[in-house]
Amino acid sequence: MQQAPTETKIVMADPTALGVFGLAMVTFVAASAKLGWTSGVTYIIPWALFLGSAAQLWASSVDFKKNNYFGAIVLGAYGLFWVAVATHWAASLGWFGPVGDKADPHQLAFACFGYTIFSLFITVAAFEANKVFAAILVLIDVLLPSLGLSIMGVEPHLFGGLAAYSELGISLLGFYAAGAVFLNNFFGRVVLPMGAPMGWIKKGVAPVAQAIPKAA
């Protein structure tokens, strides 16, 4: 008699707290430079690579496996952003050899503008996730264009200040969000509230991912 195939289900913990902590940590360190509390970006690069990049990308990969669409896309997108920023800083410091006049730093500004466009879409979804994530995304929507305009030389004092304080706000809210997700998951109840979704846009049934058929 042929036995029915058995399935093994791997249960994975929620990676959101680690991913959001990575975002909070790297923006906290980066904001310290923008606010003049520290100087240079040399020692920010490790935090950008390991906390801003690796932590968020790993959390994103777990969320993909858990079919958490919001976390997978958001953490993955911003994790890759910090890979690119860290590489930009390393190149500007000559880690890959002399740059000379071959590099145009204004390209980073256009990258910020491009991420602003995508972040606006994410912000819409964030309002239907919780209020803390929504506030973080609103501040990101301030940070990215402000940073881009500052790099382009448009009112650098004004937009540089906006970028610095919005980034500090992102980090502080990120620390709260990471702590709230961790404690709420650990205790199995709401210890620190994140705020209910706004309910402006009614969500439909999430599409189920279809398996790719194997070739015969």
Mean pLDDT of 142-171: 96
| DSSP states along 124-144 | HHHTTT-HHHHHHHHHHHHHH
Query: How many CA atoms lie within 13 Å of 55's alpha carbon, on the beta-carbon side?
Result: 19
- The CATH number of whichever domain residue 180 belongs to comes to 1.25.40
The answer to whether residue 42 sits within a structural domain is yes
**The predicted structure's pLDDT at residue 94:** 87
The answer to whether residue 199 sits within a structural domain is no
- Confirm if 198 and 128 have CB atoms less than 8 A apart: yes
Q: What is the pLDDT of residues 70-128, one digit of tens each?
A: 999 999 999 999 999 999 999 988 888 887 777 888 999 999 999 999 999 999 999 99
Give the span between the Cα atoms of 156 and 164, in whole angstroms: 11
- Element housing 181 (H / E): helix 156-187
- Whether the predicted pLDDT of 137 surpasses 60: yes
Question: Which residues have a Cβ under 8 Å from the Cβ of 64 and sit 6 or more positions away?
Answer: 72, 76
Q: Residue 37: give the domain boundaries.
A: 16-94+104-187
Q: Is the model's pTM score more than 0.85?
A: yes
Q: How many domains does the chain have?
A: 1
Copy the structure tokens of residue 210.
């279809």
**Percentage of the chain lying above the pLDDT 90 cut:** 77
